[in-house]
Amino acid sequence: MRKVFGPILIGLGAFLLVVAVLAVTWLPGAVKKTPLDVNQTTHLSGEVRRLDATTGELSAPSPINVLSISQTNTKKSTDDVAFWQTGACVVVNEDGDAPDCVDGEDPRLVSATEDIFATDRVTAEAVPDFKNLPADTVPHEGLVNKWPFDSEKKDYTYWESTLNKGVPAVFDRTDKIKGVKVYVYKITTVDAPVEILEGTNGTYDNVTEVWVEPKTGAIQQQTQDQQRYLDDGTQVLDLKVGFTEQQQKDFADDSKANIRQLDLLLHWVPIFGFIGGALALLAGALLMLGARKKDDAPPPAARVSV
């Protein structure tokens, strides 16, 4: 039995050690990458006040729903770069049952936007010169729709779609949201000249806060406090929006599951592999050594009858 189980344990030990080494060296680079099968719908809510042309003042606050869709295009992505197609629709929801989006003739529509961009699957940074982007794509820079794996307590460059440029996302604090530890980053824009309405120039203020789960880089909550003004100082928009409570819970549940999976693959697999492999090698070596000693032992002396 020792001759049988000794080699088996040594083989098992070697296999476990190889798995542990791969879990430390190769696996992190394989699993800490943006997946290429993303199809994510995000729901936000808030309120908006718009300029009333009859009074020249902002209207009373109206509740709004925001639908945001983010999809990766597998055919146009590569091993290193994710190709994204996104869209967002902001709709006034006075009666509580407005659809996710309406057409441009519907007075409930606040805005509807689409975007195409590419990001590095490891760093989450925009790749503005990606070969598969259409020629007329606006070049993005910085982080766009997620943070990198193992996010740090530091400032990042973040894509501000209204300004069409990257701006500082300043690390502000640590927090906890729905049981998930997060880093909070703040993006502040003041008096930025923009086209506030089609064909109308003005200025733009916005404070965005982003709650990020640092291990995965997944955004757990994002709020905006946005104002727009005509050049003469007349305010035409006051918008406040953030993820719904249910959306925050769904994202928190996803992050908890993803963190458990990462911990299993990157923490427990190496520990089990190194310890289990070493023990199996030791046990196998001891069994084989015992079997060899038994084989080398002299035969018992023959009994002599008188």
Give residue-wise pLDDT tens across range 159-213.
999 999 999 999 999 999 999 999 999 999 999 999 987 788 999 999 999 999 9
Q: At what angle do helices 2-25 and 269-296 cross, to 10 degrees?
A: 150
When mean pLDDT is compared across 180-184, 222-226, 262-266, 267-271, the lowest value belongs to: 267-271
The confidence score (pLDDT) of residue 48 equals 94
| Tokens coding 118 | 């590419």
Q: Where are the domains of the chain?
A: 2-25+265-293, 27-261
Which of the pair, 32 or 295, is modelled with greater confidence? 32
What is the DSSP code string of 175-224? EEETTEEEEEEEEEEEEEEEEEETTEEEEEEEEEEEEEETTTTEEEEEEE
CB-based contacts of 193: which residues, under 8 Å, 6+ apart?
201, 202, 203, 204
Query: CA end-to-end span of the chain, whole Å?
Result: 38
For residue 216, which amino acid is it? T
Nearest alpha carbon to residue 189 among 166, 173, 171: 166
Which of the pair, 283 or 303, is modelled with greater confidence? 283
Which of the pair, 100 or 124, is modelled with greater confidence? 124
Which of the pair, 115 or 278, is modelled with greater confidence? 115
Q: How far apart are CA 119 and CA 83, in angstroms?
A: 7
Give residue-wise pLDDT tens across range 212-254.
999 999 999 999 999 999 999 999 999 999 999 999 999 999 9
User: How much is the pTM?
Assistant: 0.85
- Number of H helices and E strands in the chain, helices first, is 4, 11
Contact 80, 257 (CB under 8 A): no
pLDDT band at 139 (very low <50, low <70, confident <90, very high): very high
The confidence score (pLDDT) of residue 305 equals 47
